[in-house]
């Protein structure tokens, strides 16, 4: 404001300047809050299955830089409903876990809530349980499951399950009785695996677990349990495949 305006109405000038200072302070506080949230999420990064991609990692990978695109509703409807329900399920694609399970997975994760790890974190991941036309990865009877350990936790074990023939992920929620265990691994030391260099977001290590299935055709779900070795922390992921 000009010096003439200050002379004409000094009270109004002081009030205007005070409002500007308050506005700047609010803007700074919002920016700090956003910064803290991003830092917290980044610090709590852990991992996911990346091929075949878990439901929320796949949605983030395809739409994370374009999540407000209305074309998602027709091109990728299950991701669309998940983004609308809670975008944090995709921004936190690497944090779908439960603490304190003590190996009792079926007690911690109820039927119908396997893809959300028993709605861990409240309803953040609940949309991942919804049946429908999730984008799937084409696989053959023998395929690999690539898991990314972003925080270098290591593993007490990985368990790879596959839905039984007759289960329909387009119309059914996943229950424990729908699953067949294909493989349980031994221990992976923290940091064991191949360092990812092609994608800066995947800044940890990856391991591929080869599995064999038979008698499968059409759409199925690969269900993975990762028991991290650094604490009693267990991850649960649904990945859609098409034989």
Does any domain span residue 175? yes
Does any domain span residue 211? yes
pTM: 0.82
Mean pLDDT of 6-30: 44
Does any domain span residue 225? yes
Say what the pLDDT of residue 198 is: 83
Phi, psi torsion values for 234, nearest 5 degrees: -125, 135
pLDDT tens, position by position, 27-65: 333 333 333 333 334 345 699 999 999 999 999 999 999
Mean pLDDT of 110-129: 97
What's the token pair of residue 64? 């994370």
As a whole number of angstroms, the distance between CA 209 and CA 215 comes to 20
Same domain, 154 and 177: yes
Say what the pLDDT of residue 13 is: 43
Say what the pLDDT of residue 126 is: 98
Confidence grade of residue 190 (pLDDT, cut at 50, 70, 90):
very high
Same domain, 94 and 65: yes
Mean pLDDT of 92-99: 96
Same domain, 235 and 182: yes
pLDDT tens, position by position, 100-117: 999 999 999 999 999 999
Give residues with Cβ within 8 angstroms of 216, minimum separation 6. Answer: 141, 162, 165, 243
Say what the pLDDT of residue 200 is: 85
Same domain, 20 and 125: no
Say what the pLDDT of residue 142 is: 98
Our count of domains for the chain comes to: 2
Confidence grade of residue 23 (pLDDT, cut at 50, 70, 90):
very low
Does any domain span residue 185? yes
**DSSP states along 61-96:** HHHTTSTT-TTHHHHSHHHHHHHHH-THHHHTTT--
Does any domain span residue 41? no
- What pairs with residue 210 in β-bridges? 144
Does any domain span residue 197? yes
State yes or no: pLDDT of 1 exceeds 90.
no
Does any domain span residue 38? no
pLDDT tens, position by position, 143-186: 999 999 999 999 999 999 999 999 999 999 999 999 999 999 99
Q: Which residue has the tokens 């861990």?
A: 120
Same domain, 210 and 176: yes
Query: Are 232 and 99 contacting, i.e. CB atoms less than 8 angstroms apart?
Result: yes
The residue that leads in pLDDT, 155 or 10, is 155
Same domain, 25 and 135: no
229 is in which domain, residue-wise? 47-242
Same domain, 18 and 103: no
Mean pLDDT of 122-133: 98
Same domain, 112 and 223: yes
Same domain, 97 and 24: no
């Amino acid at each position: 404001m000009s010096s003439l305006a200050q002379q004409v109405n000094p009270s109004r000038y002081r009030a205007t300047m005070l409002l500007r200072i308050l506005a700047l302070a609010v803007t700074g506080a919002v920016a700090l809050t956003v910064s803290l949230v991003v830092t917290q999420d980044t610090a709590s990064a852990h991992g996911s299955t990346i091929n075949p991609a878990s439901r929320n990692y796949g949605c983030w990978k395809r739409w994370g830089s374009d999540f407000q695109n209305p074309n998602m509703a027709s091109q990728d409807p299950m991701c669309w409903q998940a983004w609308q329900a809670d975008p944090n399920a995709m921004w936190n694609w690497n944090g779908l876990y439960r603490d304190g399970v003590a190996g009792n997975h079926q007690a911690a994760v109820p039927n119908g809530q396997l893809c959300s790890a028993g709605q861990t974190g409240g309803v953040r991941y609940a949309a991942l349980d919804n049946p429908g036309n999730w984008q799937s990865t084409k696989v053959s009877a023998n395929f690999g499951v690539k898991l990314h350990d972003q925080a270098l936790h290591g593993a007490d074990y990985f368990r790879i399950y596959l839905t039984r023939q007759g289960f329909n992920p387009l119309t059914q929620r996943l229950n424990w009785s729908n699953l067949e265990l294909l493989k349980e691994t031994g221990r992976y030391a923290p940091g064991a695996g191949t360092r990812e260099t092609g994608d800066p977001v995947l800044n940890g290590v990856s391991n591929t677990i080869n599995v064999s299935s038979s008698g499968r055709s059409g759409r199925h779900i690969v269900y993975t349990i990762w028991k991290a070795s650094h604490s009693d922390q267990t991850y649960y992921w649904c990945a859609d495949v098409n034989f």
